[in-house]
Amino acid sequence: MKRSLWTVALLAVAVGVAAVVRAEPEPASSVGASAPIGLAAPGRVEPRGEEIEVGARRPGLLVTMHVDENDTVVAGQILAEIDRRELEAERAAAVAAIELEQAERERLVHGARGQERQAARARLRAADAALALARKEHARAVPLHERGVLTTAETDRTREQLDSASAQQTEAAKQLALLEAGARADEVAIADARIALAQARLAAIDAQIESTYVRAPSDGVVLRRLRRPGEIVAAQPPTPLLVIGDLSHKMVRAEIDEIDVARVQTGDRVEVISDAYPEQRFGGSVVRIAQRVGAKRVYTDRPSELQDRKVLDALIELEPGNPMPVGLRVDVLRAP
């Protein structure tokens, strides 16, 4: 009887242990083995190379605007012009100064005209004749003075006439030699330096005139026109006149939340959606990722959005033919 009771007790314990073993839950899977999830980030459409504000390099009155919004422009094209009337007057004066200096050099190099040389030779011949006459007069007066025929005063007068004639002959000879002699090298060098200085002044004025032309820094499309002819523009700080951008390849600047930065890599394929195109998804790829986390600049206005989050910019190149306009707010989706 006792043996039967022990047998029943042992069977009951075995059944209880088996029940406990079957009731234990299966071990949970680790976090690392969980299924991957997608990624979404807000962003805005922008032109390749971002928007460029174009301003004037010189302050003044805006007189002409050659382009309007949506116009296509090429690098170097004149977009607008600043008043340059005063500069053009200065340029005319600078050109006249160059011509004057060049004429002075020509006269210096080629010397006097033939008529001037002939007149100088005639003056020298007259001075030679006057000197010869003075010498004869003085030569006759000396022996007459010794014999007492002429007074000392009369003899001294002939001596003065001789000295005066000699001085005039010497001066006439110098004048003729100066006219017939060529220009000295140092005089020609000075004339050349004056011409170079005048040309440098003209080049400086031309550079200022060029600064009155507002040119396109690159190919693109005029996105905004900010000023109209008749307005005064400044250079410091610069007054923006136009905003242009390259729309040949549209981009999206997405803001990746700081907790997701490790999940985005250059070359990742993404899809871009917008409330303005509810039935469309636009493809693109990540071409650049910033190296510095900063503050948010794109806000979705959703109630659940956190305003004080730090984000990392990622630049996404959209596929060609994208119709979304620059500045449109979008969402960037990356599949898991």
Ramachandran quadrant class, 255 (left: phi over 0; alpha: psi -120 to 50; beta: rest): beta
Three-state secondary structure call for residue 61? strand
pLDDT top residue among 140 and 102? 102
Model confidence at 162, in pLDDT bands (50, 70, 90)? confident
Model confidence at 210, in pLDDT bands (50, 70, 90)? very high
| Six-digit token string for 210 | 């060029």
Q: What is the pLDDT of residues 290-322, one digit of tens each?
A: 999 988 887 766 665 666 789 999 999 999 989
Three-state secondary structure call for residue 333? strand
CA distance 224 to 305: 31
Is the pLDDT at 12 greater than 70, yes or no? no
Is the pLDDT at 3 greater than 60, yes or no? no
Contacts of residue 2, defined as CB under 8 A and 6 or more positions apart, other chains included, come to: none
Please tell me the pTM assigned to this model. Answer: 0.63
Please check whether residue 320 is in contact with residue 249, taking contact to mean a CB–CB distance below 8 angstroms. yes
Give the pLDDT mean for 267-292. 93
Is the pLDDT at 123 greater than 60, yes or no? yes
Q: What is the pLDDT of residues 33-87, one digit of tens each?
A: 333 446 889 999 999 988 999 999 999 999 999 999 999 999 999 999 999 999 9
CA 121, distance to chain mean position in Å, is 62
CA distance 149 to 64: 97
Is the pLDDT at 148 greater than 60, yes or no? yes
Return the percentage of the chain with pLDDT > 70, whole number: 82
CA distance 25 to 28: 9
